[in-house]
Amino acid sequence: MNDPNNFSFVDMTCSVPALSSEASLPEAALSGFYDWLARLSERAEAPSGCWVLADSQGKLLAAEGGAPAGELRERSAADDGSRDELAAFFRRFASHAFGVAGDFPFGEYRACGVPVQLRADNAPTALVFIAPPEVVSAIADRIGLLAFALEACCREAVKREEARKQSLLYEAAAQLHAKIDVDSVLSETLSFIRRVYPFADVELYLSQDRTSQLPVKLLNFQNIADDPCTQAFMSGKTVVQAGEDGAQPVVAVPLRGPQGVYGVMRLEFGSPPDADDLRLVASLADTAGSAFENARLYEQSNMLIHELQVINEITKRLTQSLKLSDIYQFASNELIHIFGAEFCCILELDTASRRMIVQASNLPAMFNEHFSIDYGFAGMVYKTQEPIIISDYTRNPKVKSKLMEITGSRSLIASPIIVGSEVRGAILVAHRIPNFFSYDNFKLLQVLSGHIGLAMSNASLHAEVRRMAVTDHLTGLYVRRYLDEQIAMQQRKDLCGTLVLIDVDNFKMINDTYGHQVGDRVLIQISSVIRSCIRETDIPVRWGGEELAVYLPQVRVDQALRVADRIRTQVAQVTDPRVTISCGLADWSKESERQAVEALFQRADVALYQAKEAGKNNIQIAR
pLDDT of the residue at 224: 67
Identify the residue with better confidence: 325 or 548.
548
Q: What is the arithmetic mean of pLDDT over 574-601?
A: 88
pLDDT of the residue at 88: 86
Q: What is the arithmetic mean of pLDDT over 12-32?
A: 53
pLDDT band at 524 (very low <50, low <70, confident <90, very high): very high
Task: Report the range of poorest mean pLDDT among 10-14, 144-148, 438-442, 548-552.
Answer: 10-14
Tell me the pLDDT of the chain averaged across its residues.
Answer: 85
pLDDT of the residue at 243: 65
Task: Report the range of poorest mean pLDDT among 105-109, 129-133, 386-390.
Answer: 105-109
Task: State the pairing for strand pair 581-589/619-621.
Answer: parallel
Task: Report the range of poorest mean pLDDT among 1-5, 6-10, 387-391.
Answer: 6-10
Residue 17 has pLDDT above 50, yes or no: no
Residue 3 has pLDDT above 80, yes or no: no
pLDDT of the residue at 593: 65
What kind and span of H or E run contains 577? none
**In sequence order, what are the residues at sequence separation of 6 or more whose Cβ sits closer than 8 angstroms to the Cβ of residue 176?**
185, 188, 189, 287, 288, 290, 291
Residue 89 has pLDDT above 80, yes or no: yes
Identify the residue with better confidence: 224 or 582.
582
Q: DSSP secondary structure string, 373-423?
A: TTSHHHHHHHHH---EEES-GGG-TTS--HHHHHHT--EEEEEEEEETTEE
DSSP 365: G
Please, are residues 89 and 125 in contact by the beta-carbon 8 Å criterion?
no
Identify the residue with better confidence: 528 or 75.
528
Q: What is the arithmetic mean of pLDDT over 158-186?
A: 84
**Residue 455, Cβ density class (10 Å: 0-12 exposed, 13-18 middle, ≥19 buried):** buried
Q: Is 566 helix (H, G, I), strand (E, B) or coil?
A: helix
pLDDT tens digit sequence for 226-285: 788 888 888 889 888 876 655 678 899 999 888 888 889 898 887 777 777 888 888 888
pLDDT of the residue at 8: 42
The per-residue b/e assignment along 467-496, b for 16 or more CB within 10 angstroms, e otherwise, is eeebbbeebebbbbebbeebbeebbeeeeb
Residue 87 has pLDDT above 80, yes or no: yes
What kind and span of H or E run contains 593? none
Please, are residues 426 and 378 in contact by the beta-carbon 8 Å criterion?
yes
pLDDT of the residue at 19: 33
pLDDT of the residue at 247: 66
pLDDT band at 492 (very low <50, low <70, confident <90, very high): confident
Tell me what percent of the residues of the chain surpass a pLDDT of 90: 34
Distance CA(587)–CA(560), nearest Å, equals: 9
pLDDT of the residue at 18: 32
The per-residue b/e assignment along 59-97, b for 16 or more CB within 10 angstroms, e otherwise, is bbbbbebbebbebbeebbeeeeeebeebbebbbbbbeee
**In sequence order, what are the residues at sequence separation of 6 or more whose Cβ sits closer than 8 angstroms to the Cβ of residue 20?**
272
Identify the residue with better confidence: 321 or 250.
250
Task: Report the range of poorest mean pLDDT among 487-491, 520-524, 571-575.
Answer: 487-491
Residue 456 has pLDDT above 90, yes or no: no
Q: What is the arithmetic mean of pLDDT over 465-475?
A: 84
Please, are residues 217 and 207 in contact by the beta-carbon 8 Å criterion?
no
pLDDT of the residue at 242: 76
Task: Report the range of poorest mean pLDDT among 71-75, 304-308, 363-367, 519-523.
Answer: 304-308
E strands, 432-495, in order: 478-479
pLDDT of the residue at 357: 93
**In sequence order, what are the residues at sequence separation of 6 or more whose Cβ sits closer than 8 angstroms to the Cβ of residue 341?**
335, 429, 430, 431, 436, 437
Identify the residue with better confidence: 432 or 2.
432
Please, are residues 219 and 191 in contact by the beta-carbon 8 Å criterion?
no
pLDDT band at 6 (very low <50, low <70, confident <90, very high): very low
Residue 389 has pLDDT above 70, yes or no: yes
pLDDT of the residue at 7: 40
Task: Report the range of poorest mean pLDDT among 290-304, 428-442, 525-539, 579-593.
Answer: 290-304
pLDDT of the residue at 22: 39
Residue 213 has pLDDT above 80, yes or no: no
pLDDT tens digit sequence for 393-408: 988 778 889 999 999 9
pLDDT tens digit sequence for 98-120: 677 778 777 788 889 999 988 87
Residue 1 has pLDDT above 70, yes or no: no
pLDDT of the residue at 58: 85
